[in-house]
Amino acid sequence: MNKRRSQPYVPVFVAVIGVIVLILVGYSVLPSSDDDESEQSGDVTPTPATARATATAVSEPTPGPEPVRLTDEELQAYQPNELGKVLVLMYHRIDHDAAPDNVWARTPDQFRGDLQWLYENDFYVIPIRDYIGNEIHAPAGKRPVVLTFDDGTVGQFRLIEQEDGSVAIDPDSAVGILEEFFSRFDDFGRGGLFSILPLAAFAWPDGEDQLQYAETKVQWLIDNGYELGNHTVDHIDLRDLSDEEIKAQLARAEDLIREMAPESEVSVLAVPFGMYPSGGDTSIFEGWEHDGREYALQGALMVGAEPAPSPVHEDFDPMWIPRINADDEQLDRWFRFVEDNPGIIYVSDGNPDTVTIPEDLHPWLVDTLDEEKAGDREIIKY
Ligand SMILES: [Zn+2]
């Protein structure tokens, strides 16, 4: 498995803040060649986490990696609730011709409207690996949201040849719409999981002319803070397969994606049709061998049907992550649910090293914290 945890999605301003922190805090020890001090310099080099935490208090940079805690006033202002539910949205086709009642397709304008609603309601796009690993880097007061796209349809990512022979991203494809939105709102986060069918990446169902760009697109996504998910090779119902066939489908899909973009993690499976191996047995997902190579998934995604639990909620199981289908009926329902029940929704404290939970919890969340899932993170109740 590729264990590299590259984080290209961290916004540029965090890197800038990191450099400022490095200059303010770490500069004095960095140039030293003394052994003890160079060890210290390793401690003060800002990671994205400490840089982010420090970004909330730029005027008073924190010396060293000590995480910044919110003041009482900030807790009241931001109302963090890291036991709340996270929206994981599931998209399929993005298509001009989508009928309004097509539950598997969204028009470009519908998709723009979804993003606009999320932005206006304080959501912040995070990568799914951060949700699964409980490394949520959303700023204090923001509600994390994960965007997922299944099947790698042509409308999700289309390249258009220009007169000079270069190619440009179709501004009406999902990636074009996301890029335009992310560039306009730098406080909206960044990311998206594309669980593709690697033999028809972003060419399904009728975009054969786009197949020539498959590798370019897959590599571009990895280079620009997006993630690639496994969706098997043949979009096959796992209930119909033997264990060996399941292992082969998952391994081959991962290998094919890695051939296009070697550094992609491919550690999350969008389970085709939401149909798990028979009996709901996810033990293969946890780790398997195929053709002498070892594989493992960090998470698996269902099809439907509700907001997902916080990574520290007793119900959280990374192999059973619920998603909300992006159709008018489901989005209307769950967007209204968010508006009516803000106390159920996850609100970040801006610090991935702490788990901040209000004492006055919504009844649905009372006694649902699984402290073991918090690991080394400090639990703060207010
Ligand atoms: Zn699918």
Q: Give the chain's domains with CATH numbers.
A: 12-68 (no CATH), 76-381 (3.20.20.370)
Q: Which residues surround ligand 1, an ion (CB under 5 A)?
A: 150-151
Q: How far is the CA of 7 from the centre of ligand 1 (A)?
A: 27
Residue 67's pLDDT is 53
Residue 306's pLDDT is 96
**Angle formed at CA 156 by CA 151 and CA 161, multiple of 5 degrees:** 125
Distance CA 190, CA 250 (A): 27
Distance CA 261, CA 215 (A): 7
Both tokens assigned to 91: 């998209």
Under a CB-based contact definition with an 8 Å cutoff, are residues 308 and 88 in contact? yes
Q: How many residues belong to the chain?
A: 382
Q: How far is the CA of 156 from the centre of ligand 1 (A)?
A: 13
Residue 68's pLDDT is 75
Task: Tell me the per-residue pLDDT of 128-140, one tens digit each, with 9 for 90 and over.
Answer: 999 999 999 999 9
Which is nearest to 236 in space by CA: 191, 214, 269, 205? 269
Q: How far is the CA of 273 from the centre of ligand 1 (A)?
A: 6
Task: Tell me the per-residue pLDDT of 196-231, one tens digit each, with 9 for 90 and over.
Answer: 999 999 999 999 999 999 999 999 999 999 999 999
Question: Would residue 312 be called left, alpha or beta, if left means φ above 0 and alpha means ψ between -120 and 50 degrees?
Answer: alpha
Q: How far is the CA of 269 from the centre of ligand 1 (A)?
A: 11
Distance CA 201, CA 36 (A): 50
Residue 99's pLDDT is 86
Q: In whole numbers, what is the pLDDT of the chain averaged over residues?
A: 86
One-letter-per-residue 3-state SS of 145-186:
EEEEEEECEHHHCCEEECCCCCEEECCCCHHHHHHHHHHHCC
Residue 233's pLDDT is 98
Residue 41's pLDDT is 35
Residue 101's pLDDT is 83
* Average pLDDT by stretches of 10, the chain with 382 residues: 40 42 35 36 32 35 58 96 98 91 94 98 98 96 98 98 96 98 97 98 94 97 98 97 97 98 96 95 97 98 95 98 97 98 97 97 97 96 97
Q: How far is the CA of 282 from the centre of ligand 1 (A)?
A: 18
Q: How far is the CA of 275 from the centre of ligand 1 (A)?
A: 11
Residue 347's pLDDT is 98
Q: How far is the CA of 298 from the centre of ligand 1 (A)?
A: 19
Residue 182's pLDDT is 98
Under a CB-based contact definition with an 8 Å cutoff, are residues 159 and 167 in contact? yes
Residue 54's pLDDT is 33
- Looking at the DSSP assignment, which residues form a beta bridge with residue 324? 89
Both tokens assigned to 323: 């998603």
Residue 129's pLDDT is 97
